[in-house]
Chain A
Amino acid sequence: MYRVFGKPDKWKMYFRQLLLEMETLGLSSLGIVIIISIFMGAIMVIQIKLDMDSPLLPIYTVGLATRDVLLLEFSSTIMCLILAGKVGSNIASEIGTMRITEQIDALEIMGVNSANFLILPKVSAFIIMMPMLVIISMAMGMIGGYSVALFSGIVTVTEFEIGLQFAFVPYHVFYSIFKSLVFAFIISSVASFYGYNVKGGALDVGKASTNAVVNSSILILLSNIVITNFMLA
C-alpha cells in the first residue's frame, strides 16, 4: 500500500502516465457509457409509464421517477458495475500480462517502484474521470427518455420535462458523484491488486481478471449500502 501510494519517482513521468490512463480508462469508456445510458433512459420511461398507468398519478411522475432512478442508482452504481467489467478486467489483464512477461521485473531491476508507476496513475486517472462519466451518463439517460417522449408520444415532452424538474434535490447529484468516486477507487485498486499479484501463465491472468471483476462488483454493492445508509437514510 505504501509503495503504491508513495511519492512517484518522477512527477513528469507520473503525469504522462496519468494522461495516458485518463484516455485509456476514461475516454475509451465514453462510448459504452453513452450507448447504455441512452437505451436505459429510454427503456425506463417506457416501463415506468407502463407501471404508473393510473389516473391517480400525474403523468409527469414518469419524468420524475426516471430522473431519480438515473441520479440515485443507475448512473453511479449500475454504470460502475458495468465499468467494473470493462475497466476492471482491462487493468487486471494488462498488469497481469506485464507480470508474467517479466515487464514488472524489468521495472524493478531498473530501480523503478513498479507498483507506484503502474498502479497509482490508473487509480488516480479513474477517480478523476469517473465523475465525468457519471454526469454524462445522467445526461444521456435523460436524453434517451426525452427521445422516447418525443418520438413515441407515450408521455408528452412537456409532462416529461416537468417531471425532470419537479422536486429536484441537487444533493442527489453530489451523493451520486461521491459514490462513484468510491466505486472508481474500488474498481481500479482491486483490479490492480489482482493483476499485480498474478503468478503463473496466461490462464492465471484470466483468473485474476475474473476475480477482479467479481470481487470489485461485490465490494461496490456492499459499499453502496453503507454509503446510502450514511448519506440518505
Chain B
Amino acid sequence: MIELIDVHKSFDGTEILKGISAKFESGKTSLIIGQSGSGKTVLMKSLIGLHRVDQGQIIYDGRNMPDMSFKQLRALRREMGMLFQGSALFDFMTVLENVMYPLEMFSNMTAIEIEKRARFCLGRVDLVERSYSLHPSEISGGMQKRVAIARAIALNPKYLFCDEPNSGLDPVSSLVIDRLIKEITEEFNMTTIINTHDMNSVMEIGDNIVFIKKGYMKWQGSNKQLFNSGSEDLDEFVFASNLFKAVKDAHEKHGASI
C-alpha cells in the first residue's frame, strides 16, 4: 500500500501540489485523474521519487520515501515498475533485450532463466514471438506499450506506475491495455497507480479514483461512486463529455441510479 500525507511540491515559487493526501491499496488499480495542468504528472513523479517533495510523507508499506537516502531510494525503486507515456523503451535494444535488461541488472538468474522469464512476460502481454527480435522503432505504439508493461513486470514489482498508458492509442488498443493492466494488478497483487484523463479507462478499471484540481485533492472513491460524487468540480470534469452527460441525463429521467 502507498499512502500520501499532506504532500506539497513547488517549482520556482509556484506551488503545484497543495497538500495531497490519498491511499492506494495493493491488488487494486488506482487512477489519478484531473485536467491538464492539475498536477497529475508532478504527483506521479513525486511518487516515484523523480521529484523530491517539499513537505509531506509518501509511505510505501511503512517506509517514508522523503526520508530515504539515495541508496535506499534506489533499492525501493527496484520494487517499482513504470509504464511511461511514450513507452521509454531503449532504442538500442530489441524487444526481448528490453525485457531482459532489468533481469540482467538486478537478478541472480542464469542467462537461460533470464530469457525464459522475459519470454514469459512478453507472452503474458500477448506479444507474438516474431516481434521479439525487432527494435522498438519497428513495432506499433500498442505493441510498444505491451513491451513496456512486460519490462515493468519482469522483476515482479510490488508497485506499478503508469503515466497515461492510453495516450496515442486507438480505443480498441486502449481497452486492451487497460484490461491487461488490471489483470496483471490482480494476478500479481500489485499496487497500481495510473495517471490518466481518459474517462473510458476510469469506467473500465477505476477501482480507486483520486481526482485532483489545481494541486488539491478534491475527491477519492471508486468508479461506481463517480457519477453521484456530490463534487461539483468532479462533475464538471466527468460530464464535460457529451456522452457521459447524456448517459447521466437518461438515467435521471428514468429515475435509475448509475
A binds B: yes
A: which residues have CB within 8 A of B? 9-10, 12-13, 20, 97-98, 101-103, 105-106, 108-113
**Interface-centre pick from B75, B77, B80 (highest chain A CB count, 10 A):** B77
Q: Which residues of A contact B102 (CB under 8 A)?
A: 110
B60-111 with Cβ < 8 A to chain A: 74-78, 80-82, 84-86, 88-92, 101-102, 104-106
Q: Please give, as numbers and ranges, the residues of chain B lying within 8 Å of A98 by CB-CB distance.
A: 90-91
Q: Known interface pairs A109-B48, A110-B77, A110-B78. Does A102 touch B88 (Cβ–Cβ under 8 Å)?
A: yes
**Which of A12, A101, A102, A111 has a CB less than 8 Å from the CB of B74?**
A111
Is B243 an interface position by the 8 A CB rule?
A: no
Report how far A106 CA is from B148 CA in the complex, Å.
10
B50 within 8 A of A: yes
Q: Which of A20, A101, A103, A109 contacts B77 (CB 8 A)?
A: A109
**Interchain CB contact under 8 A, A102 and B85:** yes
A-B contact list, 29 entries, CB within 8 Å: A10-B105, A12-B104, A13-B105, A98-B90, A98-B91, A101-B86, A101-B91, A102-B85, A102-B86, A103-B88, A103-B89, A103-B90, A105-B50, A105-B82, A105-B88, A106-B84, A106-B88, A108-B50, A109-B48, A109-B50, A109-B77, A109-B80, A109-B161, A110-B80, A110-B101, A110-B105, A111-B77, A111-B106, A113-B74
Question: Would you call the interface of chain A mostly helix, strand, loop, or mixed?
Answer: helix
- 8 shortest interchain CB distances as A-B pairs: A111-B77, A106-B88, A111-B78, A102-B88, A109-B82, A111-B74, A102-B84, A103-B88
For residue B101, which residue of chain A has the nearest CB?
A110
Beta-carbon nearest neighbor of A97 in chain B? B91
A110→B101 CA distance, assembly (Å):
10
Seen from chain B, the residues whose Cβ lies within 8 Å of a Cβ on chain A are 48, 50, 74-78, 80-82, 84-86, 88-92, 101-102, 104-106, 155, 161
Q: How far is the CA of A51 from the CA of B81 in the complex (A)?
A: 68
In angstroms, how far is the closest chain B Cβ from the Cβ of A12? 8
Q: Report Cα–Cα, A102/B91, bound state, in Å.
A: 11
A105 to B161, CA, bound (A): 13
